[in-house]
């Protein structure tokens, strides 16, 4: 659908009565990205110290699940580790008559996890693509032991799945034998148990596994995902994390929460959890 048709759709649906906010006084619902669940839980704990009467309910399931919930009115705020798709924007316009508002709330370096016993320290983006596309199937091909590579990935509703497929695989399909795992924490668990396993997820996760350093190309230095390398874009697999909202709810509790999240206190929580706070306005990225 072209932008003109999208605007026309918004104008027509805007004549309808908008879906009311799910939130009631003292209640706020957040749903979506599993990558962001731990961060959202910490936000909820800290926010409750300022607003003890506010109850914040948090549910994962993946970015796509969050966008679907925003459309059907079962969440106030959608947590997302990828930008919203055009078809999802159209669904929101049909549901509540307006384009959802996007809020960048943090930065993340998508980390590559391996078992702590794996001797491989770094991969190039080309090697990473080769592993998850099925072109490379043995750790010996990337300097490791002579053993088959066991791949773990996220389910297709995950924003991390979509981001990895676009950024690392160039839109190509994952290898057929990539095992789909529900949630970043679950990927960590299976990689920690499988000596020859490899998976991916948010940089704030990683207990029981080890992050690989990543080379943008074969002849460039391998980069560790840190706040500095993510903010200056040297780490090649960085992304924003988002919250999306029906603009109609932003005059109430949801709006207060969003302003706090993107303010100094909320951004300090981002750093404490292990993600990167937003850079100062007007700076990169």
pLDDT tens by residue, 182-226: 888 899 999 999 999 999 998 888 778 999 999 999 999 999 999
Whole-prediction pTM value?
0.86
Q: Which residue has the higher pLDDT, 181 or 12?
A: 181
The candidate with the shortest Cα–Cα distance to 81, out of 269, 246, 281, 237, is 237
**Strand ranges of the sheet holding 150-154, from the earlier edge strand across to the other edge:** 179-181, 150-154, 197-201, 111-115, 209-211
Contact between residue 236 and residue 283 where contact means Cβ atoms under 8 Å apart? no
pLDDT, mean of residues 141-147:
97
Residue 102, C-beta contacts closer than 8 angstroms, at least 6 positions apart: 83, 84, 242, 244
CA distances from 163 to 4, 76, 144, 200, 256 (A): 27, 24, 26, 11, 29
pLDDT over 60 (residue 274): yes
The candidate with the shortest Cα–Cα distance to 216, out of 278, 128, 156, 135, is 128
Contact between residue 261 and residue 243 where contact means Cβ atoms under 8 Å apart? yes
- CA–CA separation, 106 vs 104, rounded Å? 6
Q: Which residue has the higher pLDDT, 19 or 144?
A: 144
- CA–CA separation, 68 vs 183, rounded Å? 18
pLDDT over 50 (residue 20): no
Residue 284 pLDDT class (50, 70, 90 cuts): low
pLDDT tens by residue, 21-53: 444 457 899 999 999 999 999 999 999 999 999
Confidence at residue 12, expressed as pLDDT on a 0 to 100 scale: 33
pLDDT over 60 (residue 15): no
pLDDT, mean of residues 165-173:
96
CA distances from 103 to 1, 69, 148, 181 (A): 23, 17, 41, 28
Confidence at residue 207, expressed as pLDDT on a 0 to 100 scale: 74
The candidate with the shortest Cα–Cα distance to 77, out of 259, 269, 265, 268, is 259
**117: phi then psi, degrees, rounded to nearest 5:** -85, -5
Confidence at residue 116, expressed as pLDDT on a 0 to 100 scale: 95
- Whole-number mean pLDDT of the chain? 89
**47: phi then psi, degrees, rounded to nearest 5:** -65, -35
Is residue 3 within a helix (H) or strand (E), and if so which, with residue range? Answer: helix 3-13
Confidence at residue 2, expressed as pLDDT on a 0 to 100 scale: 39
- All domains in the chain, ordered by first residue: 3-107+241-273 (3.40.190.10), 111-224 (3.40.190.10)
The percent of residues in the chain predicted with pLDDT above 70, rounded, is 89
The candidate with the shortest Cα–Cα distance to 21, out of 262, 250, 242, 243, is 250
pLDDT tens by residue, 81-121: 999 999 999 999 999 999 999 999 999 999 999 999 999 99
């Amino acid at each position: 659908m072209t932008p003109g048709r999208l605007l026309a759709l918004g104008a027509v649906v805007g004549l309808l009565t908008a879906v009311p906010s799910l939130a009631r006084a003292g209640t706020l619902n957040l749903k979506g990205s599993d990558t962001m669940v731990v961060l959202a839980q910490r936000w909820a704990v800290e926010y409750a110290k300022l607003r003890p009467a506010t109850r914040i309910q948090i549910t994962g399931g993946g970015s796509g699940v969050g966008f679907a919930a925003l459309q059907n009115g079962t969440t106030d705020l959608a947590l997302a580790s990828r930008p919203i798709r055009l078809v999802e924007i159209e669904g929101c316009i049909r549901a509540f008559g307006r384009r959802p508002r996007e809020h960048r709330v943090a930065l993340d370096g998508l980390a590559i996890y391996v078992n702590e016993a794996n001797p491989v320290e770094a991969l190039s983006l080309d090697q990473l693509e080769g592993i998850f596309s099925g072109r490379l199937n043995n750790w010996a091909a990337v300097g490791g032991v002579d053993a088959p590579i066991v791949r773990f990935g996220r389910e297709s509703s995950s924003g991390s799945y979509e981001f990895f497929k676009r950024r690392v695989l160039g839109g190509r399909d994952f290898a057929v034998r990539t095992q789909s795992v529900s949630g970043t924490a679950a990927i960590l668990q299976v990689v920690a148990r499988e000596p020859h396993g490899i998976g991916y997820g948010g940089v704030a996760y990683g207990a029981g596994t080890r992050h690989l350093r990543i080379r943008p190309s074969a002849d460039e230095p391998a980069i560790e995902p840190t706040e500095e390398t993510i903010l200056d874009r040297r780490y090649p697999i960085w992304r924003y994390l988002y919250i999306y909202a029906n603009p109609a709810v932003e005059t109430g509790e949801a709006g207060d929460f969003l302003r706090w999240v993107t303010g100094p206190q909320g951004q300090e929580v981002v750093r404490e959890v292990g993600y990167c706070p937003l850079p100062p306005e007007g700076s990169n990225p």
